[in-house]
Amino acid sequence: MAQVQDGTDVTVSLQVNGRHEVHTVPARTLLVHHLRNTLGLTGTHVGCDTTQCGACTVELDGTAVKSCTVLAAQADGSSVRTIEAVSRGEDGRDGGLDHVQQAFWDQHGLQCGFCTPGMVMAVRQLLRDNPRPTEDEVRRGIDGNLCRCTGYQNIVAAALAAADAEAAM
């Protein structure tokens, strides 16, 4: 974990979606820009850029965070999972939609789709913390994510359907 560098560049070593990625970037590089611009993983979106909308949500060491408010340098030594890999199995193969994504599809949980990658990551976190949430708990659980299209109703329905699907597995 020790990292002491005096310049304004840092070398960032990450496991991203199972791949080892080592890049030297300016220290001020935000994790979301590192993912999108350095690694080309543009599924993670920049929405408000002010820690409010959640479009940039990724899993950092298994926990959902807003990647516009984490420095790539802070993530050095960690593993990151982005929307590109949520449906990927242990073997790295793409398994189609995962059950949360499938629930968004089935319940029409998106319109323009801009917030969806972050919403999916937030719902995954919610279900890890609370596998059988009530509707109220879903609404509280995703209050770090904004959607300007759906009025949230179908997103909440998707989260509840995903919980049902998980329980049936």
Contacts 24+ apart (CB under 8 A), 46-49: 47/114, 47/115, 47/118, 47/146, 48/146
Q: Which residues bind other proteins (CB under 8 A)?
A: 1-8, 10, 26-28, 30, 33, 49-52, 54, 57, 60, 63-66, 69-71, 73-74, 76, 122, 125-126, 129, 141-145
* Three-state secondary-structure class, residue 131: coil
Q: Between residues 106 and 114, which has the closer beta carbon with respect to other proteins?
A: 114
Ramachandran assignment for 96, one of left (phi > 0), alpha (psi -120 to 50 degrees), beta (any other): left
Q: Between residues 35 and 64, which has the closer beta carbon with respect to other proteins?
A: 64
The least CB distance from residue 119 to other proteins, in Å, is 12
Q: Between residues 106 and 137, which has the closer beta carbon with respect to other proteins?
A: 137
The least CB distance from residue 67 to other proteins, in Å, is 9
The least CB distance from residue 49 to other proteins, in Å, is 5
Q: Between residues 22 and 168, which has the closer beta carbon with respect to other proteins?
A: 22
The least CB distance from residue 5 to other proteins, in Å, is 7
Of all helices (H) and strands (E), which one includes residue 57? Answer: strand 57-60
Task: Render 155-166 in DSSP notation, one character per residue.
Answer: HHHHHHHHHHHH
Ramachandran assignment for 125, one of left (phi > 0), alpha (psi -120 to 50 degrees), beta (any other): alpha
